[in-house]
Structure 1
Amino acid sequence: MNSNNIPRKTLPTKEERHKLFGTVEPGPKHKPVEKEKMADLQNIQKDFLFELDEVGITNVKYPIIIDSATAPHSQTSVASFTFTSSIQQSSKGTNMSRFMEQLAAYSVNGFHADFSMLKEFTKELAERLGQKDAKITIQFPWFYERKGPSTGIAGLNHADLTMEVSYNQDSGYIMNVGMSVLITTLCPCSKEISEYSAHNQRGNVRMEVSLSNDFTDLEEDWKLALLEAAESNASARLHPILKRPDEKMVTEEAYENPRFVEDMARLVAADLYELPYVTGFKVSCQNEESIHMHDAIATIRFNK
């Protein structure tokens, strides 16, 4: 008896419970169990109307290793993977399991989020699939150390990154990267018209960047270059830990460097333009306005 004097239930066995909720005995099986004898619908060859530009799998979560020129110099993260290749008009489909088989093989010693591994991966994937091309896209958070400007107390900030490599046996590789990072902007108009103070807001800088074919991770840490392009042009950087002396410095810095969202887009674009290994870019800035019900946005696209 329990504390409420309710009699203890006598439950049926687990097998009986399963039957109660719909489990039935296995039926007769006639189809082959050997792989060689099984039908392979995806490998059927006919005229299937159109070639497909991309076929594959997406939303694959897998651990990765990120190397960085700033602390922490090596970190683990979880990336969302997308793998695709084209499919000829005469092919019905692709072999989805081969994407995951290759990812598992590459992850035995740790999947490094660098271009040397991604280029090797896409070329081998195309060969494994029997296709002329393949593409891999990974998205992940990257953490970097940020110190308070006065006290030097360190914590970790993060930005959201994208790496994309496309391989084609005829034309070679195409490499693209992306970053979304938060910054602070202070309104120049508010500063100009107010007797004192000025409103500021958190901004989001999104960069989509095309890299030259000869770019390697050993040449420069592209993560730091994009981060600097965004943060150095803002009114102020964001910090994980701010003591009062730090907060004083950050707010004064923001007041000394007012930025419209249009200013941000142009200044970030200028920094990206000066990077020798960048061949084109898109910069999108969005401010969560602190005294308006709307956000402010600005975008610029440029190909060198």
Structure 2
Amino acid sequence: MSTASNTDRLPDVAGDKAQAARLLDWVGMGNIALPLRIEDANGGAVTVPASADIGVNLVDPDARGIHMSRLYLHLQDALSSRTLDRAALETVLRDCIESQRGLADRVQLTLRYGQLLRRPALASAHSGWKTYPVEIDAVLGPAGLALTLSLSVEYSSTCPASAALSRQLNAARFAGDFNTDTAGYDAVRDWLESPRGLAATPHAQRSRADVRLVLADSVDAFPILAIVDALEHALGTPVQTAVKREDEQAFASLNAENLMFCEDAARRVAAALSTDPRIACFDAKVSHFESLHAHDAVARVSGP
């Protein structure tokens, strides 16, 4: 007996009529492991491990279930053989809808992976790798294809209020150690370089900007590197990879030049995103994981 005839004899209860007829918004699978081919920073391509959620709407209220295994099989190798872009996603999603044989007219795919970027040190000749979490949400329906890109950037935030309070203490110590009759420049310079020259330091903390971007229809490739660069430039204090003493000193200087509350950080992020023609609209959240408080300071901003 052939394999085909054996398959024909297997029961398929998913084809039975639903007991409680109803349309379903989304039916599918979550956290599917798969390889994903993405563009690297040098314009080439690299394969990375990814996870995916994929599902369709069920437009036949009487149908008990969708053809779930067909979605899985269509997805397994489709995105490992060509670089991820709008055209590749649209092809895969159309195949997924067609595999359902009239049961669905809308499919949603979410991809998650880590984008590895090499970042230069601030002052030394070194560099190092940093992973940026990326999520791509692709929805194909009767209205066409919609793409949303989400990513996260970590940075350092030094509190402006704490900096002002620290400066006050430093000034008070200076006034206590010196008077108008004290010898000038050399004495002050030596004092500033001594432990006495630092009465207090402002608190700072690792922080994170999470952005969700609806991409314009004209965007074909995902502008991950460009968005990361824009956000890190706007924030001014991205966390570092390779760090020698000269890099650490440069980082300390950047923090002093970029004192910010979470409200300041949110406005900087919004300014960077709102002028980018590749972005139709955005939603951003900044979180400062406080070193002073036991809670986080959070701000959200959105716009076209």
One-letter amino acid of the structure 2 residue matched with residue 94 of structure 1: I
Alpha-carbon distance in 1 for matches of 2:208, 2:241? 16
CA distance in 2, matches of 1:79, 1:36: 34
Compute the displacement of 1:233 (Å): 2.3
When normalised by structure 1's length, the TM-score is: 0.82
Look up the match of 1:8: none
Q: CA deviation at 1:163?
A: 0.6
Unaligned runs of 5+ in 2: 171-200
Cα distance in 2 for residues equivalent to 1:199 and 1:105: 49
Q: In 2, are the aligned partners of 1:71 and 1:144 still within 8 Å (CA)?
A: no
**CA 45–93 in structure 1, closer or farther in 2 if over 3 Å, else same:** same
- Aligned partner of 2:157 in structure 1 is 185
Q: What runs of 5+ residues in structure 1 fail to find an aligned partner?
A: 1-32
Give the letter aligned to residue 178 of structure 1. S
| Paired residue total | 266
The one-character-per-residue Cα deviations of 1:221-274 (angstroms, maximum 9, x if unpaired) are 521232123212224111111001111111101111111111111111121111
Q: Match of 1:150, as an amino acid?
A: A
Q: What is the match of residue 156 of structure 1?
A: 129
Listed as ranges, the matches of 1:113-128 within 5 Å are 113-128=84-99
| Equivalent position of 2:110 in the other structure | 137
**Mapped partners of 2:52, 2:282: distance in 1:** 22
Answer yes or no: is the 8 Å Cα contact 2:34–2:77 preserved in 1: no
Q: 1:39 to 1:271 in 2, by over 3 A?
A: same
Deviation at residue 72 of structure 1 after TM alignment? 8.3
2:203 counterpart of 1:203 = no
Question: Which one of the candidate residues 44, 48, 62 is aligned to 1:77?
Answer: 48
Does the 8 Å contact 2:45/2:83 carry over to 1? no
In the TM superposition, what whole-angstrom CA distance separates every residue of 1:11-54 from its partner, at most 9, and x where no partner exists?
xxxxxxxxxxxxxxxxxxxxxx8221222221224574321110
Q: Which residue of 32, 51, 68 maps to 1:60?
A: 32
The answer to whether the Cα contact below 8 Å between 2:155 and 2:238 also exists between their aligned partners in 1 is yes
In structure 2, the residue matched to 1:175 is 147
Q: Do the aligned residues in 1 keep the contact of 2:39 with 2:46 (CA within 8 Å)?
A: yes
- How far apart in 1 are the matches of 2:47 and 2:62? 41
User: Which residue in 2 is equivalent to 1:227?
Assistant: 228
- Larger RCO, structures 1/2 (Cα 8 Å, 6+ apart): 2
Aligned-residue CA RMSD (Å):
2.0
* Alpha carbons of structure 1 residues 45 and 213: separation in structure 2 relative to 1, 3 Å: farther
Partners of 2:140 and 2:62 lie apart in 1 by 21
Give the corresponding residue for 1:87: 58
Deviations, residues 166-194 of structure 1 (Å, cap 9, x unaligned): 111x2111111100121111111111221
Cross-structure match for 1:26: none
Q: Distance in 1 between matches of 2:86 and 2:243?
A: 35
Runs of 4+ in 1 over 4 A off after TM superposition: none
Q: Select 1:110's aligned residue among 76, 81, 94.
A: 81
Deviates more, 1:180-189 or 1:47-56: 47-56
- Alignment check: 8 A CA contact 1:126 1:134 kept: yes
- Residues 9-20 of structure 1 mapped to structure 2, 5 A cutoff: none
Give the aligned residue type for 2:284: V
CA distance in 2, matches of 1:81, 1:216: 20
The answer to whether the Cα contact below 8 Å between 1:71 and 1:145 also exists between their aligned partners in 2 is no
Q: Displacement, 1:294? A: 1.4
8 A Cα contact 2:210 2:284, kept in partner: yes
Q: Is 1:213 aligned with 2:217?
A: yes
Query: Normalising to structure 2: TM-score of the pair?
Result: 0.82
